[in-house]
Structure 1
Amino acid sequence: MQKGQVRKAISGFYYVYVDGQTYQTRGRGNFRVKNMAPLIGDFVDFESDNLTEGVLLDIYPRKNELVRPTVANVDCGVIVMSAIEPDFSSYLVDRFLVYLEANNISPIIYVTKIDLLDETAKADMLEYKTYYESIGYKMILSDYPAGASSLEALVTNIGKGMAVFMGQSGAGKSTLLNQLMPELDLQTGEISTSLGRGRHTTRHVELHPVGDALIADTPGFSTIDLIDIEAVDLPSFFPDFEALRDQCRFGGCMHINEPNCRVKEAVASGEVAPYRYEHYLQFHEEIVGRKPMYIKKNKR
């Protein structure tokens, strides 16, 4: 028996990597009985006498799992945003950041099309970079024309982890993946001028080594919902709020209506970016306003 990682799955076959070799395997029947299915990124036990006839035996507990792309044990989420065409959206950045924090995934913000900005807009983008990096996030601005140094910075910051790409439609996720992995030749989505966003260009998921990193070869998703996040947990997904939590008058402060709230004081003074607090209120309203989901029980 060996332990490896599933890096590709096609037509019921799971391709498991271990010690420089890739084994073609099938899942055991009891996976279906248990309503389990191996995911890309899973660590598994398997047995095989050769490279083409292996059997998966067990799946190790997952650190996390995502639906789009369908992968498990993700270490890093690269949020790809456009500086312009479409315009940079701090709202979308914060929405992705909350999603990644909730799934125990380290974010990297990568901004494309910096070369299209005028000097005033570049200064504004640098302010975003300064703030996000002050609260612990890495934000990389693309360079032009080759993008070599920003790509190198991206791979370096992913490190030895497994990364997925997500972010704004039309921001160039597929283009960025093609730059990192030219052999993919992913189809890039054209910008829809009527909708202001790009077409989705998806394919089956596979993990590819890039430097010391593993990168999922799909552009991922451009929108996310917060369906699995509870309102009481939301403040903990804002590190700039968490740093001040113990200075609030009340334990468990939600930073909305409570008196002597240190976070609200910091927003008023500019210590916490007002747009971050505005997005927090929007997310909170969305979460508390969603309809509860009921599970219909079978009649006996």
Structure 2
Amino acid sequence: MPEGKIIKALSGFYYVLDGENVIQCRGRGVFRKNKITPLVGDYVVYQAENDTDGYILEIKERKNELVRPPIANVDQAILVFSAVEPEFSTLLLDRFLVLVEANGIDPVIVISKIDLLSTENMKRIQTFIEDYRTIGYPVISTSSVTNEGIELLLPYIKNKISVIAGQSGVGKSSLLNALNPELELKTNDISTHLGRGKHTTRHVELIELEDGLVADTPGFSSLDFIGIEVEDLSYCFPEIYKIGHSCKFRGCLHDKEPKCAVKEAVEKGTIKNYRYDHYMEFLEEIRDRKPRY
């Protein structure tokens, strides 16, 4: 049986790329029965009825998957956050970072719309950029208007499956258009009434770009930590996980335990206060999610 990769899911159809050909497929009823949904990025076995239509018979094992956006087998996440309009948020960025870290996906942080920054705000954003680079994250400043930073992003895309994600209105489609003007993806301005972007991307689709595949995804602004347990959270904060090895007690959650190396590092400034605050906020959120007896 032929095999391929789902590159688009739309209205119950799955578009499977097999070499040069794209086959429009439907999923078998057994998937619905077993509550399995084929995802963009899935490697599948399909049966072709003709040159253009077929049925998906089997979904190969996934190395990872995201719920929102719904996509599988991702190598890296390009997290796009605007410097302004909407305003840059470390809290929201850290939410995205936790989600992709928990799924074993490498993050690349892109700060968009830097052409709109005042000199004062540029210094503020630059401080955050240096913070995240010190942690070990690649951070690229870009402008889809001036094309600044676009070339620096291209090597990250090559030969990888990337999901491009972030709050709606940050310029994800504009960024993809800057990377490849032939895409002509629809973009929209920020809604001045709501202070956020209108959703211009309605479905998930893998787009061929620089010898890689990039997923343009529907915008979203909130994330739930489904499947992440309290003891897993520190893994998603690399600097906390690294310093946490020096804590006196094994399994320290860096909360109320004595002789916690992480809390000492926060006091010394080795770990940024806002990162620790976000860690604690997420820890409480995960705790509150669980039933209490």
| TM-score under structure 1 length normalisation | 0.88
Q: Counterparts of 2:152 and 2:42 in 1: how far apart (Å)?
A: 27
Q: Which runs of 5+ in 2 are unaligned?
A: none
| Identity within the alignment, % | 50
Q: Report the Cα offset of residue 255 of structure 1.
A: 0.8
Match of 1:46 in 2: 46
Q: Counterparts of 2:28 and 2:288 in 1: how far apart (Å)?
A: 43
Matches within 5 A, 1:25-104: 25-48=25-48, 50-104=50-104
Kindly indicate whether residue 136 of structure 2 is the aligned counterpart of residue 157 of structure 1: no
User: Secondary structure at 2:245's aligned position in 1?
Assistant: helix
Per-residue CA distance 1:197-245 (angstroms, 9 max, x = gap): 2222232222111012211233432221223322121111100011112
Q: Report the Cα offset of residue 144 of structure 1.
A: 6.9
User: Secondary structure at 1:244's aligned position in 2?
Assistant: helix
Q: Which amino acid aligns with 2:204?
A: V
Q: Counterparts of 2:84 and 2:22 in 1: how far apart (Å)?
A: 42
* Structure 1 contact 173–219 (Cα < 8 Å) conserved: no
Q: Which runs of 5+ in 1 are unaligned?
A: 294-300
Per-residue CA distance 1:237-270 (angstroms, 9 max, x = gap): 1000111121111111111111111111111111
| TM-score under structure 2 length normalisation | 0.90
User: Secondary structure at 1:51's aligned position in 2?
Assistant: coil
Q: Which amino acid aligns with 1:78?
A: I
* Structure 1 contact 107–137 (Cα < 8 Å) conserved: yes
Q: Report the Cα offset of residue 165 of structure 1.
A: 2.1
- TM-align CA RMSD: 2.2
Pick closer, same or farther for the CA change 1:45–1:200 going to 2, 3 Å.
same
Kindly indicate whether residue 158 of structure 2 is the aligned counterpart of residue 170 of structure 1: no
Q: Counterparts of 2:81 and 2:53 in 1: how far apart (Å)?
A: 42
Matches within 5 A, 1:1-300: 1-48=1-48, 50-143=50-143, 145-147=145-147, 150-290=149-289, 292=291
Q: Counterparts of 1:171 and 1:23 in 2: how far apart (Å)?
A: 33
Greater mean alpha carbon deviation, residues 260-269 or residues 48-57: 48-57
Pick closer, same or farther for the CA change 1:283–1:11 going to 2, 3 Å.
closer
Pick closer, same or farther for the CA change 1:24–1:195 going to 2, 3 Å.
closer
Q: Counterparts of 1:86 and 1:135 in 2: how far apart (Å)?
A: 24
* Structure 2 contact 112–144 (Cα < 8 Å) conserved: no
Greater mean alpha carbon deviation, residues 34-43 or residues 152-161: 152-161
Per-residue CA distance 1:74-109 (angstroms, 9 max, x = gap): 222121111123221111111110111112221111
Q: Which amino acid aligns with 1:272?
A: I
Greater mean alpha carbon deviation, residues 179-188 or residues 73-82: 179-188
Q: Counterparts of 2:291 and 2:176 in 1: how far apart (Å)?
A: 38
* Structure 2 contact 157–214 (Cα < 8 Å) conserved: no
What number of residue pairs does the alignment pair up? Answer: 292
* Structure 1 contact 81–167 (Cα < 8 Å) conserved: yes
Pick closer, same or farther for the CA change 1:115–1:146 going to 2, 3 Å.
closer
User: Secondary structure at 2:164's aligned position in 1?
Assistant: strand
Q: Report the Cα offset of residue 42 of structure 1.
A: 0.4
Q: Report the Cα offset of residue 181 of structure 1.
A: 4.3
Per-residue CA distance 1:118-158 (angstroms, 9 max, x = gap): 333222222222221122211110147431x5222223113
Q: Which amino acid aligns with 1:158?
A: I
Q: Counterparts of 1:208 and 1:49 in 2: how far apart (Å)?
A: 25
Q: Which amino acid aligns with 1:263?
A: V
Q: Which amino acid aligns with 2:194?
A: L
Give the ranges of 4+ consecutive aligned residues of structure 1 lying more than 4 Å apart after TM superposition: none
Per-residue CA distance 1:150-170 (angstroms, 9 max, x = gap): 222223113322222222333
* Structure 1 contact 165–219 (Cα < 8 Å) conserved: no
